[in-house]
Chain A
């Protein structure tokens, strides 16, 4: 389709309602056929009437627009006369009034637009009260160092990990959303074992969790998001009580490569309190694999109290955000291929977080102490 130079933008905007096909052109094509169906449900809207444009703000000429419109009308007209298979069956189910009610009901608590990674704003708002309760009443989180988080642009939060369920990632997320001046959304990367857990996985995905995968993380950082990683991963969650606050191996240094490749600054995060919230005394592995989880945790409350035992104990929490470390500036993107360097950097950051944790532990008087004073 060629652009007609004579056609101006004014013509396109000048019409009363560009969405409604011009009556004269419809008459010319369809004569006196019944076009009643056009009014209710074949209207696709402005978007559909505009021919495809590749690469920018092209305003379709009258010729382009008409031929696209008419082609669409003609096609649907034909379809209406000779349906390939009964379309009405699929469109209108029996008891239409009931069906409409059902649709309205089914959409409750979810929005019809989610972001590329599945975060649903309405579902997030729905769970907000729970996080607020856990944050301010249950764990009485004290967050510090929030000023280190940039108010815009990419950054990689690297935190320690503990507890049988990822309460720590929820609290890091909530701390930034609640207390940071620009209320940024943190996208935590979630390990496979948690991400594919029935019920919990989809909920985590709807409120902003993303499956831990290098491609996903890179894509998020390239979109200038704030990404939280827990490099200890499953090993961190599976720590026993006797190993509390002793950081495990930081994966294979994937997060360092990520920071080098995307140029995102690393913000070390120390979380204290998660270990006491779900102290793992032991773990059962012999049956767990059959139900699709790596182990069944044994805590003072689980499995003795049934599902209620999965609720965390009300320990006192501290979250500290450290000063950003700009690896990209110091070493350059090509350093991501240098395995020795990557491993050394990963271990440096691990040591730094360990030091931050020990500082917080020294400051804390007791894991439960403030609870008694309210």
Chain B
């Protein structure tokens, strides 16, 4: 579907509001919308101004989704600027110890956004979610489709807040047929500039391995992810979409490509150690994250390809090497092949 398929009233241009404008995806979206003549105005909503210098089209509005009456503020804003597309991306990219605040922001913040959208309906609502909402479970099939149940995680508030937010949005979509609701579930994003739980985890020289377990992993390159978001804003597709990269690799191969030293440990040791390290705030990944090193959580991107017209460009290997900042010619594997 070419971008021109979207309906734009001649002369006016679309108005887009973006919450979480300072997140990686939010910033990339602003940058790309600014280049696109189809959009006449972009509202960047966050608690601090986005890094991008506003160049006329982008207008920063301070919005704190944890404030109790922010829904009214948002509704006024939507009304005044005649917002056409609302992008809700105010979600945390890494777990935090301030779990109550995170809950207010992600779960309750989504409620505020939906309240505003119920009052002043935009044409389109795009929500940024993650494929972690499926959770890593021993019974997961190799490829989770969008219809799979959102099991979340037994004791991860980081994941469960997102699951709750997504359920609210799904309910909203059912009740408000006049709004096109699109949910994007991104696989973990890797790349040279993005910062999230996975990039922090892989930045350490050593990484824990659950002894005797080696699940397949999946990532999406930051540029592919940003492009998918633009597609979602552009297109008229509705429903949930998995946004994933090309290919999968076993966890230990990912570590080998990254040159990280795997530290195999029995499960109970890993869990105790992880609890201590998390409680003392020495690492950024909570104990529940270990399940993602035990079981599969890989999503199927076929629906996004079919209905959203998004296909990833970069393979998982290239994504990993780009995260490292290594040119493909200089890959470790080439050396390995030469030696073999």
Contact = CB atoms under 8 A, between A and B. Distances in A.
B297 to A, nearest CB: 13
A346 interface: no
Interface of B: 1-4, 31, 35, 138-139, 141-143, 145, 192-193, 195, 199, 202-203, 205, 211-214, 216, 223, 227, 231, 247-250, 252-253, 255-259, 261-262, 309-311, 313-315, 317-318, 322-328, 330-333, 335-336, 339-340
Nearest to A58: B2
A54 B250 contact: no
Contacts of B326: 41, 91
A84 B195 contact: yes
A175 B155 CA distance: 46
B138 A192 contact: yes
B313 A47 contact: yes
A31 interface: no
Contacts of A199: 212
B336 A104 contact: yes
Given A45-B328, A54-B311, A113 B317 contact: yes
A344 B328 CA distance: 56
Contacts, number: 165
A100 interface: yes
Given A43-B327, A118-B250, A198 B336 contact: no
Interface stretch (A205-213, A328-336, A357-365): A205-213
B88 to A, nearest CB: 23
A124 B193 CA distance: 36
A130 interface: no
A50 B312 CA distance: 12
A102 B336 CA distance: 10
Interface size class of A (residues with CB under 8 A): 35 or more
26 contacts: A40-B327, A42-B192, A45-B318, A47-B313, A48-B223, A55-B309, A71-B35, A75-B193, A76-B192, A87-B192, A90-B202, A93-B205, A99-B259, A107-B336, A110-B256, A114-B216, A116-B142, A116-B248, A118-B248, A120-B250, A199-B212, A205-B250, A206-B214, A206-B250, A215-B142, A219-B142
A84 B322 contact: no
A85 interface: yes
Contacts of B142: 116-118, 210-211, 213, 215-216, 219
Contacts of B248: 114, 116, 118
Contacts of B192: 42, 76, 79, 87
A100 B332 contact: yes
Nearest to B333: A112
Given A103-B256, A118-B142, A199-B212, 19 more contacts: A41-B325, A44-B314, A52-B310, A55-B309, A67-B35, A76-B192, A87-B193, A90-B203, A100-B259, A102-B259, A103-B332, A103-B335, A110-B252, A112-B257, A112-B331, A118-B250, A198-B213, A216-B143, A219-B143
Interface in A45-73: 45, 47-48, 50, 52, 54-55, 67, 71-72
A90 B202 CA distance: 8
Contacts of B199: 90
Nearest to A68: B223
Contacts of A48: 223, 313-314
Nearest to B331: A112
